[in-house]
Amino acid sequence: MGTQILAYVGAAGGVGTTRLTVECGATLARTGRDVAIFDAAFETQGLAAHVPGKIAPDVTMLVTEEVALDAALYDHPAELPGRLALCPARAPFERLARAKTAGAARQFERQLAAASLSHDVVLVDTPPLGTNQALAAVNAASRIAVVTVDSRRGRDSLARTHERLDDVGTTADVVIANRSDGSLEDADAAVPTSEVESPDDCPACLPPDETFAPAVAGAAGAALGQELDLASADEGRVGGLLGS
């Protein structure tokens, strides 16, 4: 199977889409995959909190100016077998406005396609559908995972997201219930609440524990469309360290 572009679409604001996308990206990198995560939530710019240091250029420059893709990709400091690169948004209002145009959205799709040539998986932290860049993310995606929470608001937002996806001629491949005990009937995977709150301490799935990390692995595998063999990946890494 070739490189996949996966859109993690928040059914509503505040459901933890950015954090979940980072956790899933780190989990995929645990298997040795090279992963790139793009921020399509230009207004909230949440992915930037996971990038230490100065961010320049960012994803909005990537879609509005002549900027090399590699220059806007920042390696996450977590030690992983595969690469985990983040392309965050950190922009002033003027550039933010230009990055939300239809032309910039088309460039965003092209940059996602370009990233797929040098990475095994491309993830897109996608806000609730209603902006050009969010639509560009689902247009470019080979699979769509809708992220919601197990509450009345979460269920209502999930229904609206399904309707909006239908309006643009596509459907969700999976639904992930975030910060959930697994009781949301429509969910294909559920991830419990993590005790880790600060982005500086993320991803919380590293080192893997007995509950949160396996749940994230289940969500990441569901979004990817294949089960992740993390046991073999972790054994191979340990073996390599012992044998070095």
Residue 3's pLDDT band (cuts 50, 70, 90)? confident
For residues 144-154, give the mean pLDDT: 97
Question: 99: domain range?
Answer: 4-233
CATH number at residue 74: 3.40.50.300
Report d(CA 146, CA 175) in Å as an integer.
5
- Is the Cβ–Cβ distance between 215 and 191 less than 8 Å? yes
Query: Does 241 reside within a domain?
Result: no
**Paired tokens of 209:** 């524990």
Report d(CA 23, CA 25) in Å as an integer.
5
Query: Does 214 reside within a domain?
Result: yes
Question: Any residues with CB less than 8 A from the CB of 153 and at least 6 apart, and which?
Answer: 12
**Paired tokens of 144:** 């769509």
DSSP state of 234: H
Query: Does 162 reside within a domain?
Result: yes
Sheet holding 121-126, edge to edge: 74-75, 84-87, 35-39, 121-126, 4-10, 143-149, 174-178, 189-191
Residue 13 pLDDT > 70, yes or no? yes
- Work out the angle between the directed axes of helices 17-30 and 212-224 (0-180°, nearest 10): 90
For residues 155-175, give the mean pLDDT: 98
Given this model, what pLDDT does residue 131 score?
96
Domains contained in the chain, number = 1
